[in-house]
Amino acid sequence: MVNPVQLKAFDFAAAVQRAGMALPATKTPADVGAASFQDAMGEALKAVSTQQHEARRLQREVQLDNPTVSLEETMVAMQKAQIGFQTALQVRNRLVSAYSDIMNMQV
């Protein structure tokens, strides 16, 4: 007889904390309409830029043989920056594609 598999509940907050990321601030229903898409994109691009600067800084520290910076930490930071950049690039491509589709619509 096979025992059924028991799944634990996924703790998103703990996973985000282990990944070294911050949870987005929770919004009240009154705040939901206040933020614009432009603001959200601006914040996302700032976060990607910050990740890239941090990765670049860690790379420099590793090249200068700083004993307080590990190679593993540097590699993880570089991967985070690359994933963030690729995501931003894909969002941009989708926006351009949607804009193109809308502009080519027959009215």
**Selection from 98, 86, 84 nearest residue 43 by Cα:** 84
Quick one: residue 98, left, alpha or beta (phi over 0 = left, psi -120 to 50 = alpha)? alpha
Domain parsing of the chain, residue ranges: 38-107
Residue 9 CA to chain centroid, in angstroms? 23
**Are the C-beta atoms of residues 85 and 48 closer than 8 Å to each other?**
yes
The pLDDT averaged over each successive group of 10 residues in the chain (107 residues) is: 66 73 60 72 92 94 91 93 94 93 87
Contacts of 41 (CB under 8 A, 6+ apart): 91
- pTM, two decimals, is 0.61
